[in-house]
Amino acid sequence: MSAKKVLTPAQRRALLATPAGWLASGFGSGLAPVAQGTFGSLAALVLWWLLLRGLDWPIYLGLLLLSFAVGVWACDVAGRALGVDDHRSLVWDEFVGQWIALLPLLASPLRSAPPAWWAPLLGFLLFRLFDVWKPWPIRALDRRLKGGLGVMVDDVVAGLFAAVVLRFCS
């Protein structure tokens, strides 16, 4: 199989040898043998449920911006270490995209009641749909941008698409 699909033992060691690689691989969730993006999104959903869903809007948005900026750096460093610009094991973009998709579920003046129990699951499914389907402009961004920024941006836009749909469904 190509380097795009399966990490060699040397690539796995190179990825996990640095904090950038550990973060870019979603704390190891991107090392799943299949469906790395789905495993990354699931790990992000668990972290959101346990740690992030109760945050105030300004803190949550600040965390998203910081996570994006650190993700650009980490995915760039990890991609160079692997020799593959956007390897499947780099799933920090799924974390940030998933957290963006779940924005409508945060407590806010616009939300009069807590979200339904199924809303985070719908947010997960919507994000995965837009991330895999890659409608315009997501596909164009994915093809044009390279390095850490290229890894991150298409998932940010997929997260925004999912957030808009989720807002009208929940």
Distances (CA, A) of 90 to 14, 32, 144: 13, 11, 18
Q: What is the mean pLDDT of the chain?
A: 92
Please state, in angstroms and rounded to a whole number, the distance separating the CA atoms of residues 43 and 58.
23
- At residue 4 the predicted structure's pLDDT band, cuts being 50, 70 and 90, is low
pLDDT over 90 percentage in the chain: 79
Residue 51 burial class via C-beta count within 10 angstroms: exposed 0-12, middle 13-18, buried 19 and up: exposed
Annotate 146-159 with DSSP letters as a single string: -HHHHHHHHHHHHH
The least confident of 71-80, 106-115, 118-127, 153-162 is 106-115
Q: Are residues 142 and 150 in contact, defined by beta-carbon separation less than 8 angstroms? A: yes
For the cut 90, the answer to whether the pLDDT of residue 107 exceeds it is no
For residue 83, what are the CA distances in angstroms to 28, 40, 65? 18, 21, 27
Mean pLDDT of 44-52: 97
How high is the pLDDT of residue 6?
A: 81
What is the C-alpha to C-alpha distance for residues 167 and 164, in angstroms, rounded to an integer? 5
**Region 42-63 average pLDDT:** 95
The pLDDT-based confidence of 113 (bands split at 50, 70, 90) is confident
Q: Is 2 a residue whose pLDDT tops 50? A: no
The mean pLDDT of 145-168, rounded to a whole number, is: 96
Q: How many CB atoms lie within 10 A of CB 126?
A: 22
The reported pLDDT for the residue numbered 111 is 67
Compute how many other C-beta atoms are within 10 angstroms of the C-beta atom of residue 166.
Answer: 24
The ranges assigned to domains in the chain are 9-169
